[in-house]
Each structure stands twice: as structure tokens, then as C-alpha cells.
Amino acid sequence: MSEEFRVEKDSLGEVRVPAQALYGAQTQRAVENFPISGQPFGRAMIHALGVVKGAAARANGELGNLDGDIADAIAQAADEVAAGRWDGEFPVDVYQTGSGTSSNMNTNEVVATLANRLLDDDPGRVHPNDHVNFGQSSNDVIPTAIHVACRVSMVRDLIPGLEILQAALEAKSREFDDVVKSGRTHLMDATPVRLGQEFGGYAAQVAKGIGRVQRAADELAELALGGTATGTGINTHPEFASRAIALLGEMTELEFREADNHFEAQGARDAMVSAHGALNTVAASLLKVADDIRWLASGPTSGLSEITLPAVQPGSSIMPGKVNPVLAEALMMVSARVAGNHTTISVAGGRGNLELNVMMPVMAHTFLESVALLANGARAFAGKCITGIQANEERTRELLLKNPSIATALNLYIGYDRASEVAKQAAREGRSVRDVVLELGLMEEGQVDEALDVRDMTEPGFPGGKEG
């Protein structure tokens, strides 16, 4: 030994471990074996591993599988891990053994060391495998921890973030309800809409996304704990899983339940693929919203310029005064990343070889990354972009005045073919539909004004009060 290292042993022999590290030989081997990304699991996954180990120790204590003082020490140590006191003791790379065994053993070793300190610093009394991992296997602990981490993150982080964005969009929908503007389909002029209606549509997309995320999070309430190595439950008490999962529910204040079928719960990760599908859908929604905001704000002289975004930073290092839609672009990149993560999770989810999926760590990492990106992106977009948007009403009126598609309102008066001719002439000559109709003597002035009431065109019914 030296001041920098101590020697630990496992079934493969001796390993030099950093002298002050709480972890042991198996964690150190994993650190040396997987110098791949430099990315260990983050807070959400470490919290979940701590919670699972704490619940397991308490359940095993209740069942008499562990001495009471040992169970209590393990539970207290696991609580400290869950609380974030020892995150620096979890150095194992995400790209590791596909079962996540290295991270499970990392947790077992850290918790055992902490528990021994609590028990009068007896270094050998609590064993990582015999006590901390009692009645468990990496093969049921890791999928359990993944579901806990993802469900907690979705409910506690993502849904609140999306609710903030939904509220901001709904506020703008009300604020802009009287702003009538050109609608657009295929990026071409279409019949009038209200700016508030557009923002109301965005708010509805986010609201539906919240519902999808909630349903997806509920699917992750099913836990693999109790299946141990292959789903059979060997080496665990028949009541262990139900007791530990009930405790998990109390500790997280969320509902969890034991898997309906432990072979499905460990051999497949379909619930993760399905749940991330909801995240992918939210990403697609936010991509549409952010991109629309960019289009509506494009300009200020050569684009639509129907809205003005808050200026949060200079837009160019060479063009003075330029301001860009940076928050919208950031959210679009978030959406692209989540879409890429969905491919990763879909591929990894299909590697459930026989009784065990062997790509679980990367699934956990990418899923939790998607949750964090969407949650943070939604908050930033709402707070630094949406809430500061202003409508350029003079510009919307200017563009609407020359919109040839308002001739649609004339179909019931002069027929589709004649209305089409009017629209084409108005577009060709850069004139209003109203002027062309009056010039051609197709309708009386009062009737034209009634039929071309653009505010009336934004609601169901026949323009100008005409009966069908």
C-alpha cells in the first residue's frame, strides 16, 4: 500500500484502489475497463440506486433476512447516497457492462463502506454482496432503478417544465386573441386566423404532450425487483419484492408495483422504448412550435415579422444590431437530440437476449438526458422567449390586406371559379381582393365588406352571415 492507494481483493485477485475511495475492487476494475466516455451516471440514477438499496435493506430487516443493526446501517447509508452526499464516489462510465452490474456493485461497495463506518467503523461487518445486495441481483436492481429514476424525473422535472411552457403559451393566446393575420399552409398564404389561435394551438400541443408523458411515466411504475438473476426469484424471500416496492413508494411519494411477469421485466425493456416514444412526440411538438416562432419573427424587413422576440443577446459577431431567435434554435436542437436518443433507446431495447437486456446503462443515460433536455429547454424557452413576445399588428394588417386567399369567403357569392380569378388578379397586381371585386363589378360594396370581414373568417360559419 501507499498513501495514494490501498489494496482490495475480489474473486479475480488484488486491485489497487484510491486510498480515500469509498468503493472497492469491483468498482475500480470497472473504472479501468471502461475509459470510454468520461460520463458516469448522473444525479437521478444515483438517487434511484440509493433509494432501491435503502428500501431493500429495510424490507430485508423486516423479514429477518438481515440483523436489525446491519439493516439499519445499510438503510441509513443508502439514504445518504440517495440524498447526493456521495455522488463523487460513482465514477463508473455509462458505457460499461450491459446489465449495469458495475454500477450496482459500485453502489453496494459505497453503501457497505458507509454502513461499516456507522457500525463503529468495523470494515468487515457489512459485506457489499452478502448484505447490501441480499435478495437482489444486478439484473433486477438496475432495471428497477432505471424505472424509478425515469419515472421520478418525468413527474418531478419534465411535467412541471412543460406546464410552465403551456401556461406561457396560453397567456399569449389570450393576449393576441384580437390580432387577425394571414394563415399559411404549405408556407403559402391561406385564409385568416388570429394570432391568439395560433398560440392556442401551440399551448394545446404542449398540454397533450403533458398527458402523454404522464401516461408514459405511469407505465414505468412496474418494477423488476424480486426477479433476481433470471426472473425466477432465486435467493430472495417471497415477500421481499412487495415489501421493498411498497417502501419505494413511500420514499419517493409515487406509486410503484411489482412486475406482472418478471421474465418480461428483465428480458425486455419495452416500457422504456414506449415511454421514450412519448418524449420523442413531445420533442416533435416543441420542434414545430419553436420553428413556427422563428418563421413568424423572421425579418425584420425581409421576412414575416408578425411578432418580435425579446432580444436576449447580440446575434452576430460581424453584423451590427442583428438579433437572432436563439432560444427557439436551442429548443430545436434539444428536439433533434431527443429524436436521436429515441433511435438509441429503440436499438438498445431490442437487445433483450433471452433472460436479460444487455444495453440498459445507455438506455438509462439517454432517457434521462432526454427528460432533462426537454424540461430545461421548455423552461428556458418559456421564460426567455415566449413571455416577451410582442405582436406587430401593423405588419399583420399589411400582409393580410394583400392576402389573395381571403377570396375564399367569396365562394358562396360568386362561385369558386370566379373567386379564383379574383385571387389570381389580386396577387398578380399586388392589390386587395376587395378592390378587384369592386372594379369588376361582381358585388355591391356593402356586400363585399360583409363577406370580407376578416375577423368573421376566423370562426366557423359562412362569411358575411350568408346561409349555406
Catalytic residue IDs: 186, 316
Instruction: Classify residue 131 as exposed, middle or buried by CB count within 10 Å of its CB (0-12, 13-18, 19+).
Output: buried
The full DSSP string for 289-316 is HHHHHHHHH--SSSS--SEE----S---
Report residue 188 CA to chain centroid gap: 32
- Record the cell numbers describing residue 9, joined without a space: 481483493
Q: Which of 351, 345, 352 is nearest to 280 (CA)?
A: 345
Please check whether residue 198 is in contact with residue 175, taking contact to mean a CB–CB distance below 8 angstroms.
no
Instruction: Classify residue 455 as exposed, middle or buried by CB count within 10 Å of its CB (0-12, 13-18, 19+).
Output: exposed
H or E segment and range at residue 423 = helix 416-429
DSSP assignment letter at 451: H
Residue 181 DSSP SS3: strand
Residue 263 DSSP SS3: helix
Alpha-carbon span 135 to 241, nearest angstrom: 9
- Record the cell numbers describing residue 187, joined without a space: 408556407
Please check whether residue 135 is in contact with residue 33, taking contact to mean a CB–CB distance below 8 angstroms.
no
Which residue is listed with cell 405582436?
A: 391
The CB density around residue 458, as the number of other CB atoms within 10 Å, is 17
